[in-house]
A = this chain, B = another copy of it.
Amino acid sequence: MVDLSVKIGDVTLQNPIMPASGAFSWDYGDVIDLNRLGGLVAKTICREPRLGNPTPRMAETEAGIIQSIGLPGKGIDYFLENIVPEYNKWEPPLIVSVSADTAEDFAAMTRDLSVDGVDVIEVNISCPTKAPSGGNFAMHSEHTKEVMDGIRAATDKPVWAKLSPNAGDIVSIAVAAEEAGADALVLCNTFLSLKIRTDNFRPALGNKFGGLVSPALKPIVMRMVYQVAQECSIPVIGIGGVTKAEDVVEYMLAGASGVGIGYAGFRNPTALTTIIDDLDEWCDERGIKEISELIGAVRDDDIEWDPLVAASHGV
């Protein structure tokens, strides 16, 4: 028996597998047993009810989709009254995700969400289609610091900061979030993208821009997780392109303590629970007793840097 549990700060997850915000809801309980997941992650909520972006909100690309949903929802009051109880019917910890347009409202919303039934507050400071200072704070370390300071002061709940792959220097932003008191870092949100249809010369999405979601992006996020895990001491959660147990292992080797999964659950609603099963088996076959051993276990301390030596080692 493998111990799949991981600790993200003070929160213990029974396994490192979580859905990704916005790509999941309790509706998935129609297909799989949600009690098996490491955590339940709600769709990002905003203060006021929002319709979201114009349709089409999704289009297929070469290797995945671009999407632009626009954070639709019924607002925070409805969320607390109806959606939190819906998730609380299940056992895994509830991670709520929140977005706001100003640092003040971010803090206020975090405070308002700090209620029983909410275990973790994930702050989505990286909505790709928003301006750097209006919801996409994670594009700059100063904005990150500012918004995270307010958030930290507003709650005693664990706060996880979701960062943006569109930022140029992910490490400085991660460090800013850590210094402001984040309990964990979630890497990453989606890649700002554009698809233009060659049949009618129009953008494929109603919102013009959208976030690219594709298994192909995993190596980019893997690099970010690795870089951030080297510099920060709080846990990192890797999100991007996980479709199988080996992907979870790879993220953990790079330094992640857990993963989030979006696309794979669209393709196969049984993906998340299957990955948990496969992860268990993968560890078992290799005699790994505690999956947490894998965190940061990449073997990169004895790389052969002399090209003349390396290229004599064969294929």
Assess whether A74 is interfacial by the CB under 8 Å rule: no
Question: Chain copies in the assembly?
Answer: 2
A-B contact pairs, 22 of them (CB 8 A): A51-B307, A51-B308, A54-B309, A55-B310, A61-B216, A61-B218, A62-B216, A62-B241, A63-B214, A139-B169, A167-B168, A191-B219, A191-B220, A192-B220, A196-B222, A196-B298, A198-B250, A200-B299, A201-B298, A203-B300, A216-B216, A216-B217
In the complex the two chains form, is B63's CB within 8 Å of A216's CB?
Answer: yes
Instruction: State how many residues of chain A have any CB contact under 8 Å with chain B.
Output: 64
Task: Collect the chain B residues with CB atoms within 8 Å of residue A167's CB.
Answer: 168
Q: Contact string, A239-252, partner B, CB cutoff 8 A, digits 1/0? A: 00100001001100
Assess whether A195 is interfacial by the CB under 8 Å rule: yes
CB nearest neighbor in B for A219: B193
The interface of chain A, by Cβ under 8 A from chain B, is 51-56, 61-64, 66, 70, 139-140, 166-169, 191-196, 198, 200-203, 206, 208-209, 212, 214-220, 222-223, 226, 241, 246, 249-250, 253-254, 297-300, 303-311, 313, 315
Not counting A54-B304, A192-B220, A216-B216, a sample of 18 additional A-B residue pairs whose C-beta atoms are within 8 angstroms of each other reads A54-B303, A61-B216, A62-B63, A62-B219, A66-B219, A191-B219, A193-B222, A194-B222, A194-B226, A195-B250, A196-B226, A196-B298, A198-B246, A198-B249, A198-B250, A202-B300, A209-B223, A212-B216
In the complex the two chains form, is A55's CB within 8 Å of B202's CB?
Answer: no
